[in-house]
């Protein structure tokens, strides 16, 4: 058909849709050709009047003088409104003003506002999203700490100082074999060497074991505050659920806001060219060097994407023989990956068992000075080594699998995430295999290996504590001993080899995975060690400044640009995966493994979970029946069926909407062709 640009262009300028864009300030109309000038000039301001009323003046994309005019018009119109409407509009306005004031003031309270702003100006929004993420984690951990502290530790501290006439009722063992309750933590035994203190600080044993840092301290049945009874075991369990739920809701809310994924259209919004071109430039960059780097990375990204598109076409044209070859190659490489992973998990299991055996033996023989710190930290070291080697091996292997570059990056990332999170789970399960090691009647009276682990929750807490401390040490040591010397070498020594390999990029994904790994440890460990979020808060606080220094002094520009929105989404999704993964070990230890009978708030219960059914049995009968009814099958099955029906309905609705959108799009194309045709006809008619 006729090419679209063939119609005379001046007609197009008359159209109302064009006029609404080109409305100049002060109403300069001289661009219009003389032909339809007078008719349209009279008509143009009219639609303005109608749409003015529903939006406040500041939402109109006009210059200040125009906005003043609009506001005056709106105020004049308001005179004719009924009294109650006037009152409502004025009160809305004053409410909005008050909210704006509060927002303005609260922006001062935002942590690190200036630091992140300067990072954004110098390095762009992609790297800034990493630091915003760190800030979010500091806040999250701080809130978790406040939660755990105020509901679990504070009542005990209050009662120790006797404030409000409070007393503590310690748990007296009921129906428990005496042998299960033997637990002698070696707390302060008088004069000890300073070396022992350091040892204890780093491994959570000794004097730390009896503090409120670990589970074993909370052997409290209730706290009496004047005449009110505060049920500590119930509070402990419910606070655990509360902090997990709070983390889940906060992360979900954060990943939902600022990311509006339109599910109607099929295209991937992150990969779209329009996103890269129209939203490609970070307007917040203030540094000319950063701007130059941004130009380069945008050029690189656009070229890579265009090449990738050509590659995709080539892939689609592959012969069946080629496809078979590549498929078998991929299966082979995946088998290698699985083999590597299994080797990794098995070594973690063996090392954990070895470390536990050796530390326990020395404690039993009371030769505590022989406890080798190295042996204690062996599991942490192996996990950190595995986390370091896995990305290197995976990025080497994936080159053979012949994927498109974008997919390569995604797949390697997914594999690294899996390795990091699975390592923690494997460590925990190997610990549990030790604790529940019931061969040769080792756990007959108590349900768990009471001789080696009289207070097993504290032991698990200690392992989590060690993991966290070691992670922190590694994050401190790597910049000090690797990054800064490397940068020094590169600046001082001008050999070509060093120049090529010495430069180091600020790898966002690696850094993010590292802190998510730390956060997962914190979530799992808080049940066993209630004050762990405080340590995590301090840790992330210090990490912010360290990473900022590393960035400023040693960073080399990354070739592949990092997009802020996809990074944000990626961080939060992986964080969510970490949280959901944390549910598993916690669920198992709360509900399945018998709680230790020698320490802790759940001494008199079979498992930690039993506090809740115990409490429910004390409720009035009506409420009890309702609650038990909700947990039974008679409720669950219809509930599940109703959920399925709702989901099917929503999916059908979405599909219907999609069909309508496609039809409307086709209609628009038709209308545009009609418009061109009519304009051409008019032009022809005018010429005759």
The C-alpha atoms of residue 416 and residue 344 are separated, in whole angstroms, by 13
Query: Could you identify the residue written with the tokens 């690797």?
Result: 482
Among the residue ranges 151-159, 302-310, 530-538, 576-584, the one whose residues contact other proteins (CB under 8 A): 302-310
Tokens of 260: 């509006």
Check: CB of residue 273 under 8 Å from CB of residue 647. Answer: no
**Count of residues that interact with other proteins, criterion CB under 8 A:** 79
- What residues between 617 and 636 interact with other proteins by CB under 8 A? none
Site for other proteins in 21-60 (CB under 8 A): 21-22, 25-26, 57-59
For other proteins, the binding residue among 295, 312, 410, 592 (CB under 8 A) is 295
258 binds other proteins per the rule CB under 8 A: yes
Pick from 267, 489, 648, 653: which binds other proteins (CB under 8 A)? 267
Contact residue for other proteins among 277, 327, 616, 654 (CB under 8 A) = 277
Closest by CA to 383, choosing from 354, 353, 358, 352, is 352
Binding segment for other proteins (CB under 8 A), chosen from 516-524, 539-547, 644-652, 662-670, is 662-670
Choose one: 210-218, 289-297, 428-436, 584-592; the region binding other proteins (CB under 8 A). Answer: 289-297
Residue 312 in the binding site for other proteins (CB under 8 A):
no
Q: Which of 27, 35, 47, 68 binds other proteins (CB under 8 A)?
A: 68
Q: Does 557 bind other proteins (CB under 8 A)?
A: no
From the list 147-155, 381-389, 397-405, 667-675, the region that binds other proteins by CB under 8 A is 667-675
- Take residue 177 and report the two structure tokens written for it: 């074999």
| Nearest by Cα to 212 from 194, 187, 234 | 187
**Contact residue for other proteins among 53, 65, 338, 559 (CB under 8 A):** 65
Residue 675 CB coordination number (10 Å): 14
> Rule CB under 8 A: which of 463-502 touch other proteins?
none
Distance from C-alpha of 463 to C-alpha of 469, rounded to nearest angstrom: 10
Please identify, among the stretches 203-211, 264-272, 394-402, 612-620, the one whose residues bind other proteins according to the rule CB under 8 A: 264-272
103 lies in the site for other proteins, by CB under 8 A: yes
CA–CA dist 457, 153 (Å, integer): 17
178: which residues sit within 8 A by CB, 6+ positions away? none
CB of residue 678 to other proteins, shortest distance in Å: 13
292 near other proteins, rule: CB under 8 A: yes
In whole angstroms, give the CA distance from residue 293 to residue 301. 12
405 binds other proteins (CB under 8 A): no
Sequence-separated contacts (24+) of 329-335 with Cβ below 8 Å: 329/400, 329/401, 329/402, 330/401, 330/402, 333/397, 333/398, 333/400, 333/401
Tell which one of 278, 314, 321, 440 touches other proteins (CB under 8 A): 278
Q: Centre a 10 Å sphere on the Cβ of residue 258 and count the other Cβ atoms it contains.
A: 10
The residue among 235, 139, 144, 217 whose CA lies nearest residue 524 is: 144
Query: Would you say 290 or 524 has its CB closer to other proteins?
Result: 290
Applying CB under 8 A, among 61, 82, 190, 620 the residue interacting with other proteins is: 61
Contact set for other proteins, span 106-145 (CB under 8 A): 107, 117, 121, 125
Instruction: Please enumerate in sequence order all residues whose Cβ is within 8 A of that of 184, keeping only pairs 6 or more positions apart, or say none.
Output: none
Q: Which stretch binds other proteins (CB under 8 A): 209-217, 259-267, 443-451, 583-591?
A: 259-267
Helical pair 378-397 and 405-435, crossing angle rounded to 10 deg = 150
């Amino acid at each position: 058909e006729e090419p679209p640009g063939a119609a005379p262009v001046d007609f197009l300028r008359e159209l109302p849709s064009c006029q609404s864009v080109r409305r100049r300030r002060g109403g300069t109309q001289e661009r219009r050709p003389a032909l339809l000038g007078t008719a349209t000039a009279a008509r143009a301001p009219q639609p303005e009047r109608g749409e003015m009323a529903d939006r406040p003046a500041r939402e109109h994309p006009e210059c200040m003088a125009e906005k003043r005019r609009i506001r005056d018009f709106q105020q004049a119109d308001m005179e004719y409104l009924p009294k109650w409407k006037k009152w409502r509009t004025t009160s809305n306005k004053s409410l909005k003003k008050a909210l704006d004031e509060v927002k303005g003031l609260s922006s001062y309270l935002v942590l690190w506002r200036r630091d992140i702003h300067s990072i954004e100006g110098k390095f762009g929004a992609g790297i800034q999203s990493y630091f915003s993420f760190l800030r979010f984690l500091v806040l999250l951990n701080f809130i978790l700490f406040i939660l755990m502290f105020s509901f679990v530790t504070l009542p005990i501290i209050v009662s120790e100082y006797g404030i409000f006439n409070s007393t503590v009722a310690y748990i007296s063992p009921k129906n428990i074999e005496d042998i299960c309750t033997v637990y002698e933590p070696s707390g302060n035994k008088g004069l000890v060497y300073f070396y022992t203190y350091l040892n204890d600080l780093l491994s959570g044993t000794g004097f730390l074991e009896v503090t409120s840092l670990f589970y074993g301290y909370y052997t409290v049945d209730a706290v009496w505050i004047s005449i009110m009874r505060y049920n500590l075991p119930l509070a402990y369990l419910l606070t655990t659920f509360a902090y997990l739920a709070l983390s889940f809701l906060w992360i979900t809310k954060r990943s939902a806001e600022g990311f509006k994924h339109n599910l109607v259209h099929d295209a991937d919004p992150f990969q779209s060219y329009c996103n890269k071109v129209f939203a490609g430039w970070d307007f917040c960059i203030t540094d000319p060097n950063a701007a130059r780097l941004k130009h380069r990375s945008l050029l690189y990204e656009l070229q890579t994407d265009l090449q990738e598109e050509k590659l995709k076409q080539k892939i689609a044209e592959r012969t069946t023989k080629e496809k078979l070859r590549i498929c078998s190659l991929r299966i082979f490489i995946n088998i290698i990956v699985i083999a590597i992973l299994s080797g990794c998990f098995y070594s973690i299991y063996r090392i954990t068992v070895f470390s536990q055996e050796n530390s326990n033996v020395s404690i039993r023989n009371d030769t505590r000075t022989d406890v080798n710190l190295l042996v204690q930290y062996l599991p942490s070291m192996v996990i950190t080594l595995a986390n370091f080697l896995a990305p290197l091996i995976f990025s080497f292997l994936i080159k053979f699998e012949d994927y498109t570059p974008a997919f390569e990056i995604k797949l390697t990332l997914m594999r690294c995430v899996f390795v990091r999170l699975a390592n923690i789970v494997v460590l925990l399960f190997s610990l549990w295999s030790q604790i529940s090691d019931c061969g040769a009647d080792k756990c007959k009276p108590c349900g768990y290996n009471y001789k080696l682990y009289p207070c097993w929750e504290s032991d698990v807490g200690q392992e989590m504590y060690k993991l966290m401390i070691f992670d922190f040490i590694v994050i401190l040591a790597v910049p000090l001993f690797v990054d800064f010397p490397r940068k020094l070498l590169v600046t001082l020594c001008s050999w070509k080899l060093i120049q090529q390999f010495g430069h180091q990029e600020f790898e966002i994904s690696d850094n993010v995975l590292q802190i998510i790994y730390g956060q997962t440890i914190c979530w799992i460990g808080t049940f066993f060690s209630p004050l762990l979020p405080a340590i995590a808060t301090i840790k992330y606080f210090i990490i912010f400044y360290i990473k900022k220094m590393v960035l400023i002094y040693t960073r080399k520009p990354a070739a592949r640009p990092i997009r802020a929105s996809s990074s944000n989404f990626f961080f939060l999704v992986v964080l969510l995966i970490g949280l959901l993964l944390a549910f598993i070990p916690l669920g198992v230890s709360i509900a399945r493994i018998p709680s230790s009978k020698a320490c802790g708030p759940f001494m008199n219960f079979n498992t930690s979970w039993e506090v809740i059914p115990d409490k429910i049995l004390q409720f009035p009968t009506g409420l009890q029946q309702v609650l038990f009814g909700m947990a039974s099958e008679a409720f669950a099955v219809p509930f599940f069926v109703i959920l399925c029906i709702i989901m099917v309905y929503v999916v059908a609705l979405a599909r219907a909407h999609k069909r309508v959108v496609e039809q409307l799009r086709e209609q628009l194309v038709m209308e545009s062709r009609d418009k061109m045709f009519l304009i051409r006809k008019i032009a022809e008619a005018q010429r005759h």
